Amino acid sequence: MKLSPEEKKRIYEEEKARIEAREKIEREKLTEPSSTGLSPNIAGLLCYVGIWISGIIFFVLEQKNKFVRFHAAQSIVAFGTLTVAGIILGLIPVVGDVFSTIIGIIGLIVWIIMIVKASNGEWYKLPWAGDVAEKMVASSRVTGEYAEPPLSEPTAESEAEAAAPTPPPAADLGKRIGDKVDAHFKGSRGRITASAFVIAWSIVLLIFFNFFNQYVAYYHSETVGGITTWTRYPFFTENINLWLPILTATLIITIAGHIIMIILDRYILREIINLVINAFALWTVLTLLAVFPFDFTVIPNPATVHATYLGVRIFLIFISVGIGIAILVSVIKLIVNVVRGTVSYEEHI
């Protein structure tokens, strides 16, 4: 069937109007209010900076802007899938490393593309992951996104009554103020107590590892003539001297930082100090993992020796990952709260 020029023009105009309407909707997504106070394209970019970890953070923090929630969900699905696939394929004998490398290259390419797309404010959908992300956003009801319909048609009088602010009773206002003051001082006492505990524990670790680390050992007993003699075989080798200065510096910084936090109980200052302490803690654990100043061959059972070596390495890796995630979360929260102008504990995310 051949179309007339008028019909072709009408179809063209309809398609053009549909494209313009879609573009307008996408632009409006970028003007929706954001829970974090960041502009949507910056928040969308940050959803991918820490791959699926920052995706989870923003999917939880962002409760208003659908653009940010979509990119957060897509980061979780895409990079979570790539991470799991890389781990599973890496376990395959012989070719596991090849598959892990391929997954890593794919992940890097996708990461760069999505950072660029999100920073430009584009609602860019990855194959499969984008569809799943849209379903995640659509299925989650967030604060302020939906409004219950009124039970009846509003009248001019009811609208005026609803618009007029209702001052709280004096008793309720006084109670609310009192509750806020109590919450502030309770929180302050809790923070001071926590800092005091960290200071005391850091001092204990500082003294123990610098003067008594030889007591981390395997103890063997022998009984001769009714007399029991204990022999100590230290687990630490001489290489511990390569790690001790870093541990000492970290513990001293931790003690000094928490003393400052007790004297100056300020939210942003505390967050920055905790971030610095966590960075030094990560450096300390990674150095311990690299130097690995342990000798477990003093244990008589070979199977126990092997299990101990493996267990300690896995334990240190898990600690490193945990501290790394904590640092990433702290950085994102700090950026968000600085942008929002948060200065008190009551206002922070």
Residue 126 — φ and ψ, nearest 5°?
-80, 150
**200 and 121 in one domain?**
no
User: Helices marked H in 152-265 — which ranges?
Assistant: 156-163, 170-211, 240-263
**235 and 313 in one domain?**
yes
List, in order, residues 6 or more apart from 291 with CB less than 8 Å away: 239, 240, 242, 243
Q: If we measure between CA atoms, which residue out of 36, 14, 100, 1 comes closest to residue 337?
A: 36
Q: pLDDT under 70 in the chain at which residues?
A: 1-3, 8, 20-33, 140-188, 340-349
Does residue 29 form part of some domain?
yes
**341 and 211 in one domain?**
yes
**What's the pLDDT score for residue 150?**
40
- Between CA 100 and CA 106 the distance in angstroms is 10
pTM of the predicted model, to two decimals?
0.55
Helices and strands (H, E) in the chain, number of each type = 11, 2
Does residue 160 form part of some domain?
no
115, 55 in Cβ contact below 8 A? no
271, 309 in Cβ contact below 8 A? no
**Residue tagged 């109007």 (tokens):** 17
**What's the pLDDT score for residue 148?**
35
Does residue 281 form part of some domain?
yes
Q: If we measure between CA atoms, which residue out of 326, 256, 255 comes closest to residue 285?
A: 326
Give the count of domains, the chain: 2
- Between CA 273 and CA 68 the distance in angstroms is 29
Does residue 342 form part of some domain?
yes
**184 and 65 in one domain?**
no
**104 and 207 in one domain?**
no
Burial state string for 311-331 with b = 16 or more CB within 10 A and e = fewer than 16: ebeeebeebbeebbeebbbbb
15, 43 in Cβ contact below 8 A? no
**What's the pLDDT score for residue 185?**
43
**197 and 103 in one domain?**
no
Does residue 154 form part of some domain?
no
43, 64 in Cβ contact below 8 A? no
Does residue 271 form part of some domain?
yes
Does residue 109 form part of some domain?
yes
Q: What is the pLDDT of residues 64-74, one digit of tens each?
A: 888 999 999 99
Residue 79: CB atoms within 10 Å: 23
**What's the pLDDT score for residue 237?**
93
**Residue tagged 């995640």 (tokens):** 136
Does residue 151 form part of some domain?
no
Q: What's the residue count for the chain?
A: 349
**What's the pLDDT score for residue 240?**
94
**Residue tagged 């892990």 (tokens):** 100
One-character DSSP codes across 185-199: HHHHHHHHHHHHHHH
243, 250 in Cβ contact below 8 A? no
**349 and 223 in one domain?**
yes
- Between CA 283 and CA 280 the distance in angstroms is 5
**342 and 196 in one domain?**
yes
**What's the pLDDT score for residue 30?**
56
- Consecutive H or E run containing 92: none
231 by DSSP, 3-state: which?
A: strand
Q: What is the pLDDT of residues 99-125, one digit of tens each?
A: 888 888 898 999 999 999 998 888 889
**183 and 100 in one domain?**
no
119, 67 in Cβ contact below 8 A? no
Q: What is the pLDDT of residues 163-206, one digit of tens each?
A: 445 544 544 544 444 454 444 444 567 788 888 889 999 999 99
**What's the pLDDT score for residue 53?**
86
- Upper half-sphere CA count for residue 343 (Cβ side, 13 Å): 1
**331 and 184 in one domain?**
yes
- Between CA 157 and CA 299 the distance in angstroms is 85
- Between CA 270 and CA 278 the distance in angstroms is 12
Residue 264 — φ and ψ, nearest 5°?
-120, 90
User: What residue numbers bound the domain in which 272 lies?
Assistant: 172-349
**313 and 191 in one domain?**
yes
34 by DSSP, 3-state: which?
A: coil
349, 337 in Cβ contact below 8 A? yes
Write out the two tokens for 254.
């931790």
